[in-house]
Amino acid sequence: MRGSRHVRIAIIGAGSIVFTKTLIRDVLAGPVRDVEFVLMDPSTRRTPLLKQWADALIEAHGLPASVTVETDQAAAIAGSDYVITTFQIGGLRATELDYQVPMRYGVDQCIGDTLAPGGIFRALRGIPVARSVVRDMAERSSAAVLLNYTNPMDMICWVLDDPVVPSVGLCHGTQVTLDLIAGYTGVPKDEIDFTAAGINHMSWFVRLEHQGRDLYPLLRARFEQPEYYVNEKVRGEMFRHFGYFMTESTGHLSEYLPYFRKSAAAIEEYCDRPAFGGESGALVRWTRLVTAQYTDDDVLHEGGVDLPARSHEYGPRIIEAIETGVPFHFQGNHVNRGAIENLPSDACIEGPMYADGAGLHSVQVGRLPDQCAALNLSNINVQRLAVAAGVLGDPEAVVHACALDPLTSAVLTLREIRQMASEMLEAQREWLPQFEGRSIAPTPSISIPADVVPAEVPLDPALSVAQRFGDVLSPKETGPSD
């Protein structure tokens, strides 16, 4: 427990008005006092407006807090006790490219911020900034705790991991899913006992109980009823076939798997709910809609200077737990190091954690069901390659990450994947400094003349037999062997 003291909180990427307002309100509504917020963003378009609003909020409630604005990241981090990252590199323009370029190749994304081509390139844009945050913290505020909200969560957290900078990635997918489970089972959310673990946006409820009673039989029964199933077809199908419920909704989850967006027919069957229920390009349309409907001033003054009940965001409660010493349990993203035994030790996982006066602590989970771990690994393989690409500036690793992506590989050939990745890299160069002077080399098609004679080389025995008998057997006789 650190006791009563002055607390400095730097928010990197504070130009996100709605989210920054939520974090400030949540902190000020809690027991931590004498707080200094440092709002850092390279642009001063929004942060001065946020300061005006926060100053009015602080004055209205007579709170011992202050707000400053900063455009220099290192200066904002210097001397901070907590650093909250919520940046998005490239903004709407980059998000549009994340969707539009793959769509021209037939890779249909709903959100594109976690995996698939959009998630991969969002990671490539964010990795240089994430690395600079860790560097600045190590040099200027080594005792600070880093709370990351930037997507793609696991790839960014993989890069943020550092022996001298305690960090955790925070997402509200588990809290939101618990609301759904409560509604489906009729059990109050705060009475559900659970263990959830896996990776961000693909964690598994390996235990779901109410007062010692297993809730899974009831939840399974609900998902066999059309009126329940129709709300979450993708998550429902995964539950029905793999046996455990996930922490992410249809729109997101459909992008992390090869089954649900590989064709127009599959999308029509499983991803037919509007907006984030699976609709193509939902994130791009939502971002445009918000931009068109609300001016900065409208969003800024929405809700006035009230201090409503705190939101479900974990960050402010983690700060409270560390400052007061009262433990707080939550779901966090961190490098595994054996917490989940059958996922790679160096990969980023999501699982149970707690914070107290001594800092952040992960909880041992044990083994996931094998099928659940295998699905996580399909995403971790992509994450590993994308992180390597983003750190090293390796264009070939970008191709490899896209080629192993479950959705992309279900739709495109390797040559098409290389072309798509090359087009995305060229379109987004302004946000990808690590790739300066480097491009994705084309791999041209090999033209095979009609009269080509195969080279005399050793062949696989099965292929050799097939060639020997190919001229003898009729088309009706050539087929699968018994």
* Catalytic (active-site) positions: 172, 256
Contact of 83 with 10, CB cutoff 8 Å: yes
- Token output for 482: 């018994």
171's CB contacts (< 8 A; 6+ apart) are 149, 153, 200, 201, 331, 333, 350
> Distance between CA 37 and CA 76 in Å, rounded?
10
> Distance between CA 75 and CA 285 in Å, rounded?
35
Residue for token digits 């393989």?
Answer: 381
- Token output for 231: 């709300």
- Token output for 379: 């995403």
Q: List the beta strands (DSSP E) in 231-368.
A: 245-246, 328-335, 348-356, 359-362
Longest dimension (CA), the chain: 93
φ, ψ for residue 365, nearest 5 deg: -105, -35
Q: Which amino acid is at 413?
A: T
Question: Dihedral (C-alpha) 54, 59, 62, 66: value to the nearest 10 degrees?
Answer: 50
> Distance between CA 87 and CA 103 in Å, rounded?
25
Q: How wide is the angle at C-alpha 151 spanned by C-alphas 145 and 152, nearest 5°?
A: 115
198's CB contacts (< 8 A; 6+ apart) are 204, 246, 247, 340, 343, 349, 350, 351, 368, 372, 376
Least Cα distance to 431 among 95, 192, 58 occurs for 95
Q: Which amino acid is at 311?
A: S
118's CB contacts (< 8 A; 6+ apart) are 95, 98, 99, 102, 109, 111, 112
Tell me 141's DSSP state.
Answer: -
Q: Which helix H or strand E contains 208, and what residues bound it?
A: strand 202-210
Residue for token digits 């994340």?
Answer: 98
- Token output for 191: 């009475």
Q: Which helix H or strand E contains 199, and what residues bound it?
A: strand 193-199
Residue for token digits 């009126």?
Answer: 227
Tell me 248's DSSP state.
Answer: S
183's CB contacts (< 8 A; 6+ apart) are none
